[in-house]
Structure 1
Amino acid sequence: MRIIAGTARSLPLKTIDGLDTRPTTDRIKETLFNMIQQDVPDCYFLDLFAGSGQIGLEAVSRGAAKAFFIENAKNAAACIQDNIRFTKFEDACTLLQTDVISGLRTLEGKYRFDLIFMDPPYKKELEKEVLTFLSHSSLVKPSAKIIVEAALETDFSYAEELGYTVLKEKCYKTNKHVFLQKEK
C-alpha cells in the first residue's frame, strides 16, 4: 500500500496486521481519487473508520488543506500516527482515537468538511448511524460529498429519508463507493 499521487507520491504506508481491517486497494483508491480530484485541493477531509489512514493521507498528498482521522482501534490509531509521521504531514493531520460518533461530537461546531469518507465494518449498519448523525450536523458543508465504502449488497434506500441525494454509485468486484450529498 502506498500514496499514489501528489507530494508524497510512492511513499509506502504501514498497514495493520490481521483481518480486522480491509485496506482499500491501490486500484480502487486511484479510481476514487480520479472521481473526486476536482474537490480535493484545499478541502477539509474527514476519514472515518480510518484504518491505516491511507485515504486521508492520499487526500493531503493531493492538496487537501487538512485531514481528520477518526479510528477507535488502538493498533489502527498507532498505525495512522506512524503513517502521518512518515509522510511528514503532522501539520495537516489530526487523529482522534475514539469511536466515530464521539469523534464527530468532538468536532461539531469547530470544523466543517468538504469531503467525508467512511469505510465502516461491513454489514453492521454503522454507515446508517453516521449518516443519521451527519444529516443534522454542522460538520457537513452545503456542497460536501460524503463517500461510503460498503459491501455490494448494502442498501442505501433510507438515504433520501435522511435528507441525502445519492449522486453516484461505483461498484467493484466485492464492494462499492456510494457518493451522497445533503439536499439543499
Structure 2
Amino acid sequence: MTRRRPPSRKPRRPAAAQAKRPGRLRLIGGEYRRRQLPVLDHPGLRPTPDRVRETLFNWLTAVTPGARVLDLFAGTGALGLEALSRGARQAVFVEGDARVARQLADNLATLGAAERGCLITADALAFLADDPTPFSLVFLDPPFRQGLAGACCRALEAGWLTEEALIYVETESAHAPEVPASWQLHREVRAGDSTGRLYRRHPAGAGSPHGDAC
C-alpha cells in the first residue's frame, strides 16, 4: 500500500528576519494614490499612520490644491508627499538626517515629483533661523520627548506663514504644544500615544509679502 507523504512545509522565517523586512509607505489619495514607497529602517522614523493621514487630508481637501507646503522633520515625507499627490504646488521637505534624506530624495524621483518637491538636509530650527518665505500649509512632526514643537511653532511666526496658514502639529499625547496666541485649534485626531492638532492662523495684522524660494 502506498503511503501518502505529509505535505511539505516551507520553513518559517525566524522572527528577527521578519522584523528586518523593509517597511513601505502607501500614499492614499490623489495622483499617486496606492503607490508604495520604501521606508528606511531607522531609529525613531515613524510615518504618520494611514488613518490619521486620511482624516487630516479630508480636513484639508479645499486648501491642498495649489498650496505651498513646508514639511518639517520630514522623515519619510509621508505628509508632504501626500500633499503633492493631492495637488499642492510645491512642498519643501526639511530633514536633518542624511540617510533619511537620501531615501526621501529617491522616493521623490520614483514618483516623478522632484520638480515640485524641494529637499533640504538641515536641522529644522537652523532652517527656521534663515530668511523666511511664507507657506500656506505646514506639517510639524518633531521627535518625541525633545521639547522641539514649541520652539518650532514660535519660530514659524517669524515670516514663515501666510496670513491664514494652516499648521498641523503632531506630538506625544501627554504634552500639548505651546503655540502662538494667533493660532486657533481647528481639529484634533489621536492615534496611539500621539495626537495631531490642526491649527488655523488668525493674525491681528497682515504679514509682509515674500516671493517663492526653496
TM-score (norm 2): 0.79
Q: Does 1:103 align with 2:124?
A: no
Q: Does 1:159 align with 2:179?
A: yes
Partner of 1:118: 140
Q: 1:92-114 deviations in whole A, cap 9, x for unaligned? A: 01010000022223451xx3211
Asked which structure has the greater CA Rg, the reply is 2
Contact 2:93 2:118 in 1 (8 A): yes
Q: Does 1:177 align with 2:196?
A: yes
Give the structure, 1 or 2, with the largest relative contact order (CA under 8 Å, sep 6 or more): 1
Contact 2:129 2:155 in 1 (8 A): no
Stretches of 4+ aligned residues off by more than 3 angstroms: none
Structure 2 counterparts to residues 5-44 of structure 1, below 5 A = 5-44=29-68
- Unmatched 5+ stretches in structure 1: none
Q: 1:105-126 deviations in whole A, cap 9, x for unaligned? A: 3451xx3211100110011110
Contact 1:53 1:69 in 2 (8 A): yes
- Unmatched 5+ stretches in structure 2: 1-24, 204-214
Q: Does 1:128 align with 2:150?
A: yes
Partner of 1:147: 168
Contact 1:13 1:54 in 2 (8 A): no
Q: Counterparts of 2:35 and 2:130 in 1: how far apart (Å)?
A: 31
- Of 147-156 and 84-93, more deviation after overlay is shown by 147-156
Count of residue pairs brought into register by the alignment = 179
- Of 96-105 and 75-84, more deviation after overlay is shown by 96-105
Q: 1:33-87 deviations in whole A, cap 9, x for unaligned? A: 1111111000001101000112111101100000000000011101110110011
CA RMSD in angstroms comes to: 1.5
Q: Counterparts of 1:174 and 1:13 in 2: how far apart (Å)?
A: 25
Structure 1 residue matching 2:37: 3-state secondary structure: coil
TM-score (norm 1): 0.91
1:59 corresponds, among 83, 86, 93, to: 83
Partner of 1:168: 187
Q: Counterparts of 1:10 and 1:155 in 2: how far apart (Å)?
A: 32
Contact 1:120 1:126 in 2 (8 A): yes
